[in-house]
Structure 1
């Protein structure tokens, strides 16, 4: 291959990568939330960012996508009973406009009564809505007849309280070995997908309930 052809090939390769990167930047720029919007990401280890760098957790990536403050209020190992007890103080401290609620995974893993899980989540949603906080619910998957699907009560709650539901994103991650660090936790790439899904919901559905 001649020197000229090598130079042309290198230039074309650089141009291609530049185009791809620009497209990714443009995609990230499509997300939007009003200025000074405060978001609390509330949940367990999936929210906390299990075994990934702090800047790879979904709240950190979501903050970068939306260019706003996203508080990571995740605690590893928490079930919904403990979450229900903790939530009032978190809301009082941060006074968010948006609450992202991603809990229930530990209830499922520990074989707890999912009727109680649903009741706890319902009380959390009501608590936030009474304070005019916009709630986004993230559905958590469970093993159902040899396949992993989002637990059905998340859809019930979303319909009952008229809140947006990220219903299949964790299911997608858990079913793809390239997107998870173990059987239940996303890796950095999986968290990127989760953050983009939530950023899309915020952009398209968020309404300031204090107006």
Structure 2
């Protein structure tokens, strides 16, 4: 049997599974999909509702201080920063420090991008949404451009708030991320 590979899914409520059962959360569904394809993997849900990029960085720092370290990390952060209109430069700098740390530790990662989820002026939207492609170019991670692709804006796939995916929406996201997660697994030495 293949060695068990551990992935930490670092994120906010979109990773945690806000408003849905734990077994329907993104990490749980993605783990099931990967296992059904023969991967011996455990995905640890480190999603925290309301978390920002800065909060995620602090949690990851604490997590990486433990041994053994994860084999890989999925980084899904920034939605709450955008909702709070945090300065895009600050968000980028924080995410950059997360990715730099993972790079230094030689831990492969999957970066998921985020778009504006609420109306904002064009300048802010452009500045925020440009963060993720720039980081992807800088670090060459496995890159999934928009975490909520295929679910955001579809009332049949979101909770009443129109943002958080429901059970069906989370399943669609996990299915879309699946090939990227397999690419991430392939990068684990």
TM-score (norm 1): 0.76
Secondary structure at 1:41 match in 2: strand
Aligned residue runs from structure 1 range 1-211, under 5 A: 35-67=3-35, 68-93=41-66, 95-142=69-116, 143=119, 151-181=129-159, 182-209=161-188, 211=189
Structure 1's consecutive aligned runs of 4 or more residues displaced over 3 angstroms after TM superposition are 143-146, 204-209
- CA deviations on 1:68-124 (whole Å, 9 max, x unpaired) are 210000111111112212211112335111100000111100111011001101110
Do the aligned partners of residues 144 and 155 (structure 1) sit closer, same or farther apart at CA in structure 2, a change above 3 Å counting? Answer: farther
* SS of equivalent to 2:9: strand
Structure 2: how far apart are the matches of 1:54 and 1:175? Answer: 23
Structure 1, gaps ≥5 residues long: 1-33
Unmatched runs of 5 consecutive residues or more in structure 2? 36-40
Q: Distance in 2 between matches of 1:119 and 1:183?
A: 29
Whether the 8 Å CA contact 2:109–2:184 is kept in 1: the answer is no
What is the count of residue pairs matched by the alignment? 176
Structure-2 separation of matches of 1:105 and 1:168:
11
Deviation of 1:190 (Å): 1.1
What is the RMSD of the two structures over their aligned residues, measured on CA atoms?
Answer: 2.2
**TM-score normalized by structure 2?**
0.84
Greater relative CO, 1 or 2 (CA 8 Å, sep 6+):
2
Find the residue that maps to 1:170 and give its secondary structure: coil
Provide closer, same or farther for how the CA distance between residues 168 and 81 of structure 1 changes in structure 2, counting only shifts above 3 A.
closer
- The answer as to whether partners of 2:12 and 2:48 remain within 8 angstroms in 1 is yes
Q: Residue 122 and residue 58 in structure 1: after superposition, are their counterparts in 2 closer, same or farther (change >3 A)?
A: same
Deviates more, 1:198-207 or 1:131-140: 198-207
Q: CA deviation at 1:184?
A: 1.7
Using the TM superposition, give the Cα deviation of residue 160 of structure 1 relative to its aligned residue in structure 2, in angstroms. 0.8
Which has the larger Rg? 1
